[in-house]
Structure 1
Amino acid sequence: MSDPWMTRLGALPVAVVSDCLDALGLREQVMAPHLRPLADDHAMVGRAHTMQVLEVDGPPASADLHYAAEIAAVDSVEPGHVLVGSTCRGSLWGELLSTAAQFKGAAGIVADTFTRDVAGIRALGFPAFFAGIHAADSLGRIDVAEIGVEITCGGVRVREGDYVLADLDGVVVVPAERIEQTVTAAEEKSRREGDVRALLEEGRTVREVFDSFGIL
């Protein structure tokens, strides 16, 4: 992982990063709570590779166009990318796309859509966060319209290259231009939380500790 900010961000909890974004005035960076990991050990950090997803009323007339944009999205993945799919009803993803994305070095996927092939994706260990599970194929129901454009996923605006961090608490997006501020603040908050934890374990009251540190 050659991006030092990505390495440092990946060592932090989503909740701490969210708090620091709040303090910076960025209060809408956590995706909606219905976006959940397919497995409890799924966590990821990476740079957003965005997909604008939409519902369609049937497959393309030409078989050459079947899954064309989905294929292009995965084939354009670079190491460290997190695929991010916009809000759309339908099952976008599956085991074979996960296999391809993982081989290309993707850090994972988060999409406000459904997925299928859950057992296969879990077996791969490919980090995946989705709105739900549905077995129906994407063909003729849901398709990728554009790649690398600004999208909305889980209520959060995401641009190509923004930083994405996900763990059991959810998914947070850090605008690329605010990464240094955010990571620096989150590392400091994480250190201070360690001090607070130690005092609480010694039996200090929550009020005493909060009045001293302002952290809860």
Structure 2
Amino acid sequence: MDNQTTNISGHHATQTDLDLFKHIEENLYTAVISDSLDELGHRNQVLREFIRPLSPADRFAGWARTFSCVDMDYIPADPYAMEIAALDSVLPGEVVIASTGGSLQNAPWGELLSTAAYVRGARGAVIEGLVRDVRKIQELGFPVFARGIKPVDSKGRGAIVDYNVPIECAGAYVCPGDLIFADYDGVVAVPAAVLPQVIQLATDKVSKENGSRADLLRGAYLKDVFAKYGVL
């Protein structure tokens, strides 16, 4: 990998990006994004059910900055070199999303990486494996989703070997620059090529769901509401 090229890939979030993130975070939810992806034939873009928020209120949308991690059983000469380069590559408006190949051998994410990502303008992190320093991360207010918690260091157990490359993360294929959206229900990765269609479909469905909810609360029968709005 050419790190010089990778470090300048992506872009700082524009006001248009920030407006999009705000719209998603305030008006949409992962379930309706998933439904919209299904409608467009992208049926495997939701991360596995074991990826959970460290805090129930954690919620974010942003562009994917991918990390690829692997296990190891030795301590290399410079164990944190790629980790440092990867974190320093993060741009405002991005979400760190790290694949681990399903490993539970180490915790590749903790307080200091959260702090580094936070000050660089990252909107959150999604870690396929384990994390540590959870209380400190919660105090920082940086939203993190992960598979579990374990206090072991990555040194000699695992390492970041590449970044800003396509990855498979908890069952979903993610490319740099895809949209990552996470809320209490889980995490969804929206391919950049279909993002406008997905947002439009999801926004339209939310409007219909709001109408359905209102009618149901007024006592309407579900079959009548479904006939009217066509959503469940």
Same fold by TM-score, threshold 0.5 exceeded? yes
Residue 93 of structure 2 corresponds to 80
Taking structure 1 as the reference length, what is the TM-score of the superposition? 0.95
User: Is the CA contact (8 Å cut-off) linking 1:8 and 1:183 kept in structure 2?
Assistant: no
Equivalenced residues, count: 213
Q: Give 1:8 deviation, angstroms.
A: 3.0
1:70 is the counterpart of 2:86? no
Partner residue, 1:8: 23
2:127 to 107, 111, 114: 111
Is the contact made by 2:79 and 2:159 (CA closer than 8 Å) also made in structure 1? no
CA RMSD between the two structures = 1.1
Query: 1 CA distance for matches of 2:54 and 2:188?
Result: 17
**What is the DSSP-based 3-state SS (H/G/I as helix, E as strand, rest coil) of the residue aligned with 1:186?**
helix
Residue by residue, what CA displacement relative to the aligned partner does 1:13-45 show, whole Å, maximum 9, x if unpaired? 111111111111111111000000000011111
Aligned to 1:178: 194
Query: Does the Cα contact within 8 Å between 1:115 and 1:134 map onto a contact in 2?
Result: yes
Gaps of 5+ in 2: 1-12
Do structure 1's residue 19 and structure 2's residue 32 form an aligned pair?
no
Structure 1 position 10, deviation (Å): 2.9
TM-score scaled by length of structure 2: 0.89
**Residue 200 (1) aligns with residue 216 (2):** yes
| Pairing partner for 2:164 from 148, 156, 167 | 148
Aligned to 2:46: 30
- Give the secondary structure class of the aligned counterpart of 1:99: helix
Q: 1:132 aligns with which of 148, 167, 184?
A: 148
Give the % identical residues.
43
The AA in structure 2 aligned to 1:70 is E
Unaligned runs of 5+ in 1: none
Distance 1:50 1:119 in 2: 25
